């Protein structure tokens, strides 16, 4: 039976003060890994990537919810729940590992039950662009890390079956398209727009492995983290994969908990 949705809680999202009032966690994270796809070969690494990154963030003081192998309804539910948490947080991180599709310049997360022969975009996929826009509308800082440009054989099948329909006229692009970063938002891709990332062969994708290798460094801004991740991924893939980022941050976005008490200069 597929493992649908769990929370690996390092810090409880809602804590109760002495007076009994709820106090929101200032730093929240949502981590999703989809790998057990029903209509294409499973991706082995996204669940590993999500669990490991969720555990590292939790160890650094983030209130983390981790979800594995979500169908569309549960993926939407997880995003809606996280949107509410983000609205009351100072900082938030959203990480997704798994398949995605780029259709007509729009990016979509692929639920595990996605079936290209009978699917429609509105009914069966989840828009990355819309999700980022909703999360970025919160007053705090938002970092989005997408390990989602992995080569997807379903894209070709869906393209072939969709083109013959009068109601569908879809154009597939390689990898993901550019995503505007709203105010106070940072967006990182596992590879450059229009390119495909590797799933990896050693338990983690090159992108997630590089994040894990550098995320524990102290007093580190998310943009500095991505510089280190980019260098490692380019080295490990012989330059075939180049992580990409967009930023509209107006102040540093610190990853580790100790940095909250550290000077920001």
pLDDT attached to residue 105? 78
CA distances from 26 to 79, 93, 141, 156, 241 (A): 18, 12, 11, 42, 34
CA distances from 177 to 33, 66, 85, 127, 212 (A): 20, 26, 27, 12, 25
How many C-beta neighbours within 10 Å does residue 25 have?
A: 21
Closest CA to 155 of 94, 199, 110: 110
- For residue 142, give its domain range: 14-261
Say if residues 61 and 257 touch (Cβ distance below 8 Å).
Answer: yes
Specify if 7 maps to a domain: no
Which distant-in-sequence residues (6+ apart) come within 8 Å of 89 by Cβ?
24, 25, 26, 27, 28, 138, 140
Closest CA to 153 of 181, 174, 132: 174
Residues in the chain: 265
Specify if 99 maps to a domain: yes
Q: Indicate the number of domains in the chain.
A: 1
pLDDT attached to residue 119? 63
Q: What does DSSP assign to residue 64?
A: E
Specify if 192 maps to a domain: yes
pLDDT attached to residue 210? 96
pLDDT tens track for 146-168: 998 766 666 666 655 655 554 45
Q: List the structure tokens of 207.
A: 């992108």
Specify if 6 maps to a domain: no
pTM (2 decimals)?
Answer: 0.83
pLDDT attached to residue 123? 80
Specify if 9 maps to a domain: no
Q: List the structure tokens of 53.
A: 């990154």
pLDDT tens track for 115-137: 877 767 778 889 998 999 999 99
The rounded distance, in Å, linking the Cα atoms of 92 and 253 is 10
Query: Which residue numbers in the chain have pLDDT < 50?
Result: 1-22, 24, 166-167, 261-265
Q: List the structure tokens of 238.
A: 């012989």
Specify if 8 maps to a domain: no
Question: Residue 33's domain is classified under what CATH number?
Answer: 3.40.50.1460
Specify if 1 maps to a domain: no
Closest CA to 70 of 107, 96, 102, 32: 32
Closest CA to 151 of 208, 105, 95, 110: 110
The rounded distance, in Å, linking the Cα atoms of 37 and 113 is 6
pLDDT attached to residue 157? 64
pLDDT tens track for 82-108: 999 999 999 999 999 998 888 777 888
Specify if 194 maps to a domain: yes
């Amino acid at each position: 039976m597929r493992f649908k949705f769990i929370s690996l809680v390092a810090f409880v999202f809602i804590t109760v003060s002495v007076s009994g009032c709820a106090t929101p966690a200032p730093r929240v994270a949502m981590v999703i890994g989809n790998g057990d796809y029903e209509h294409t070969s499973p991706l082995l690494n996204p669940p590993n990537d999500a669990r490991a990154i969720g555990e590292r963030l939790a160890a650094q003081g983030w209130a983390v919810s981790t979800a594995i192998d979500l169908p569309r309804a549960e993926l939407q539910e997880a995003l809606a729940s996280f949107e509410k948490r983000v609205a009351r947080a100072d900082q938030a991180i959203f990480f997704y590992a798994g398949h995605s599709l780029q259709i007509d310049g729009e990016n979509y997360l692929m639920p595990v039950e996605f079936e290209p022969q009978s699917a429609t975009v509105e009914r069966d996929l989840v828009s990355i662009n819309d999700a980022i826009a909703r999360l970025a509308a919160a007053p705090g800082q938002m970092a989005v890390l997408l390990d989602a440009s992995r080569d997807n054989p379903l894209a070709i099948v869906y393209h072939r079956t969709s083109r013959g329909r009068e109601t569908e006229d879809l154009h597939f692009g390689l990898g993901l398209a550019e995503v505007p970063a709203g105010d106070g938002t940072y967006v990182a891709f596992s590879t450059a727009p229009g390119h495909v990332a590797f799933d990896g062969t050693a338990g983690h994708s090159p992108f997630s492995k590089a994040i894990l290798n550098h995320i524990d460094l102290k007093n580190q801004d998310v943009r500095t983290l991505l510089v280190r991740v980019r260098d490692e991924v380019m080295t490990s893939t012989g330059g075939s994969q180049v992580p990409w980022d967009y930023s509209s941050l107006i102040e540093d976005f610190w990853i580790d908990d100790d940095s909250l008490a550290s000077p920001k200069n």
